[in-house]
Structures are given as structure tokens and as C-alpha cells.
Amino acid sequence: MSKVEKISPLVHRITAGNSSVFTGPGTNTYLVGLEEVTVIDPGPALEDHIESIIKSTPNIKQILITHTHLDHSPGVKLLKEKLDIPAYGLITESSKGQDRSLILDKQLEHGQVLTTSEYDLEVVHTPGHASNHLCYILKQEEMIFTGDHIMNGSTVVIAPPDGNMREYLNSLEMLKDYSLEKIAPGHGEVLDQPHTVADWIIGHRLERESKVRKALEDSGKGSADTLVERVYDDVNETLFPIAKWSLESHLIKLFEDGKINKEGKVYFSKK
């Protein structure tokens, strides 16, 4: 059984046993509240993880998902079957086939506030990693549950076409409009200074974008396949297949910004 960890007066965390290069130590499931508990991201469809969630409290009332990648949402089906409670989130056109087991009782909207007698959770639409990605702000503690929008221990993969680098950067910038004290990420430990973290990620992505543009200028033309070794020369080559997804997203953004040219699947520097 997974361990239940108290991370704040209103929040407990259970980490699923699905550690990997993508998920780090595993997917974090958060239990918000004491008397009216909201489960955020039940994680993958692992029976022992779902049992850990159920045994942690008898007061689970609803489920929220940050997005529909398979390490975050398939546990919803198992939890709903055992507890008969509603699940909420967002499905977009480009994300609707990601988790075919998922049935939502209601679609959520940006700015919506879910209120209980104990706490309020504000819905923040943060596309980028996924078009349907939502974060949730626990207003009473100014804690934001970021799913895969911000993770601790690794940068987020932006995989087109559902992933979008421009939307990701804009969503990170938007977080600075909110009063926030803590980040509870989908993977890894709680982070302090949310606005500083957002600024660091934006800066890191823009540095990577500069490397993409410089690599194209040096070679004249290229694709994610041919540029990855030069652009990601600071990471282990075993991660290149993953890095190519984000690299493609950088290339798409640069092309849309009018900073590079494209013919077919090949990109060209602008002289």
C-alpha cells in the first residue's frame, strides 16, 4: 500500500508506484480537505494505488483531473466504480482519444470555483503540455496543483500536436497573475516561490529556443531528428527520443513567429 503523506493542514499526498523516466518517483495523487475530500489525479489504473486512496479516508466526494495522459487519469474509472462519485475535468478535440476509459460528469471552465464547506478550488486552464490541462488553486492555502504544467525534478515534455510551446509559455506567464505560496506538482516534491519557478522555466525554454535558432543558422536547415544532438547537448543521449518532441514544438513556434522557414518537414534559417 502507498504511504499517505500530510503536506499541509488541508492536503495529503499519495504517490503511485509508476516511477519511470517520464514520471520520476511516480504520479502524485492529492487528497484535499478532511470532511469533504476532493481527489486530484487518481493516476494510472493501478488497483493497489486506488485501494490506498480509498483506505486513506471515508470522506471522498469528488474527483478532479489535471489532464488525460495515462499516468494521471485512468485511475478515475476504478475509483468511480468503487465509490460512485463524480469526476470533473476538461476534454478538448485534440485530447479526446488519450484516455478512452474516462467518463467525466461535467466539463470544467477556466475561472470556475468549486466550493465546499471547508475550502475553495479555482480552475485555471493551462494548455501547453496538453491542450486540456487544468491547474487547481486551493484558495485557503494559496497552493496550486500543477499536474504536468510544472514538475519537480525535470522539465515538462511538450509534444505536438496536442502540446504547444507558445501556449505553454503563455500559461506559465499567466500563473504570475495569481497569489500563490506553494506548488504541488504532479511529480516530485512541493515547491516554494511559484512565481520564481515560473520565471525560471520560461527563461529555460527561451534559452533552448535560442539554441534551436542558432543550430539552424549554423547548419542552414534541419529537423528535430538532425538538430537534437546539438540543441540538447547538455542531456544524456538516451533522452533524445523524448527531447525531439519538445524540439519539434520549438521549431513550430519559431516558424509561426516568422523567425525561420519551412518546406515539408524541414526547417530553414532565415538569412
> How far is residue 37's CA from residue 27's CA, in Å, rounded to a whole number?
19
Catalytic status, residue 84:
no
The one catalytic residue among 71, 99, 148, 162: 71
Q: Which amino acid type is present at position 11?
A: V
Name the one residue in this structure whose C-alpha cell is 522539465: 155
Which one, of 116, 155, 162, 159, lies nearest residue 136 by Cα? 116
Q: Are the beta carbons of 111 and 123 closer than 8 angstroms?
A: yes
Q: Measuring CA to CA, which residue among 134, 108, 144, 118 is closest to residue 57?
A: 118
Sheet holding 134-138, edge to edge: 113-115, 120-125, 134-138, 143-147, 182-185, 191-192
- Starting at the edge strand found earlier in the chain, the sheet holding 260-263 runs 221-222, 266-269, 260-263
Q: How far apart are CA 100 and CA 120, in angstroms?
A: 29
Give 185's contacts (C-beta < 8 A, 6+ positions apart). Answer: 28, 146, 147, 150, 151, 152, 191
Give the residue numbers marked as catalytic.
71
